[in-house]
Structure 1
Amino acid sequence: MYHPYFRGKQYELITIRENAARLAKANFLPIIEPVRESLGGLEKALRAVCESGGKAIVIVNPHYGDHASGGISISELLSASFREHPGVSAGILLKNTMSVKDVMDCFSLHKAHSPAFIHAGFTDGKDLAAALGNKITRTMNIFIDDESSKLYRRHFKESTRVLIKDGFERRRNRDHPDVEFFSDLHITYADDYGMDGFGDFLTVGDDYSESGGPAYAIAIHLTYINAAADNAMYIYHFKSKRVDTPADPAGKFAEALEKLVAAVKAPGSSIYRTEAVLEFLELNRRGHFPGLGYVKKLSMQHHIETMAKFLP
């Protein structure tokens, strides 16, 4: 099963809401780390997930954003509005500042929402596994790759295990290559890592920032399955020609979009013609710039659609 990891900014939540039926049909299980104080967008996204018969994991103790000092309001939302929806689970982010007691207290507090553990720097795996005892077989353990070793993960081998890897290399837009390797975890997660599922941070990446600076270059990021490389996933970075000033974002988007259209229409193109790509083509036809947040949403949607089309 595929687990896309979203930080709960506006367009991430809109992506989940608008793709709720697609996520449910593909049996994808998104992980959401709320980062904004207002939870209205999160509630709308979760209601769409539930109405589509899907599932989601909501982190109740976020590491980033407005809830980093405590996620009481998130827990209250789950309890008040989603107690009767078994598809919505509480995610407990295991950080290096937590003790086993902290983890187990949070686990007990959210037991009505089938808690899942997201291992992100916690080190006392052996004692946590012992504290869980027989309950470990009924838990889901999600490991952030660069914050959990293979040895650490072995303590949870009797549970459902998921590995999350960040395939997106964070750089200034102007510094991205035209195309590069993204991930092969969708092929290797079971055989090479012994996992039951996998995930990534879509085309946004794990690095968190409250807001971006001025965009000197506009880039559109599109993933694709490379059949010539054993079906590994690669990513295009379609960049604007102009990169020296933050002026004219609409014109720079048109420059990047022109490159995307050429790649999509090239003979033998590996880019799936997803609904998101068709919308990019329509934006090019109309000469319309919808804003950078909307562009990011289409990029994430294309990634989800690509995963859904490739995975059985």
Structure 2
Amino acid sequence: MSQLRGEAAILVGPGRLEVEEVPVRELADGEVLVRNTVGAICGSDVHRVRAESPFFRDMNDHPFPCPPGYPGHEGLGEVLESRSPKFRPGEIVLTVPNHAYMASFAKYQTISDQFLLHVPSDGSPMHYLMAQQLGTVVYALKKFWPEPTPGRSAAVVGVGSAGMLFVQMLKHRGFERVVAVDLDPGRLALARKLGADETVLVPDQSVSVLDPASGSPVENFDVELAIEAAGTDSARDYAMAMVGLRGRLGFFGMPEAHGMQVPYASLFGKQITLATAVGAQLEPNLASFRESLELIVADEIAVKDHITHTFDLKRIDEAFELAHSRADGVVKVGITYD
């Protein structure tokens, strides 16, 4: 296998991805070689690749050109070679890499066995792939709402793919009223289909939450849990405006900059609890990813409407442009490796 070569996307500069054929490195003990079948673009991938915000410009994960396949971290494929007793050639696996193994935008991926899960050999690979993102949502809800009993009301600000999963998981956990907030009416319609009880169409990036029928500011949401799932400070502003007395705030998306304006007096007066969530890959036994895979296999969480557009790896630059522009009704972009 040491002479194996395969195509990989390489980030050669901000916003510049090139596909090249690269050699596959030797496996170390505990590592597995996976031939990727399908992958997907996460919102954080778009931020990392474009590096337009101060937080991502300053992150400096890797010098350019970045390692092949970076920053892909949502993948599913077949084990070709293994130096791990946990996985054998021919098995199908979900890859949920940590930062050191982000390489899903490549035909072949070398990864530690601690970031792999067995998946069924039948069924839709694209559906099982969604267990990666759903796993991060399951993990986040453990932090955002640690109480064993569900709340009555929640809001999800930003209903891209992750936001749609939050809507479903909140209803799955028993929340009575879930409000979806977004700039795109098409996404709000899908959120309704997936369980949202109310939707709020935001016509601009102001901090006023508007009623979709009258266009007037709404002051009485006062939800018990408000989740930001868009990765923008404006979405976090909406979430902070919607949370009620002794409520909880969950910031899921990655930062835009190193700081932001917070209405501390309001949060202080309402006795708000704020939590963030990152690092599901480091949870013991990949517990949240395992739970998410079980939910998808059991068809308890719907994922078939999430990946709306698919591109071959050779066209990954087009795939990222669509994921960034959010045109053509896109929710999430998939990648194939033919």
Establish whether TM, by shorter chain, passes 0.5.
no
Which TM-score applies when normalising by structure 2?
0.27
Which TM-score applies when normalising by structure 1?
0.28
Q: Which has the higher strand share?
A: 2
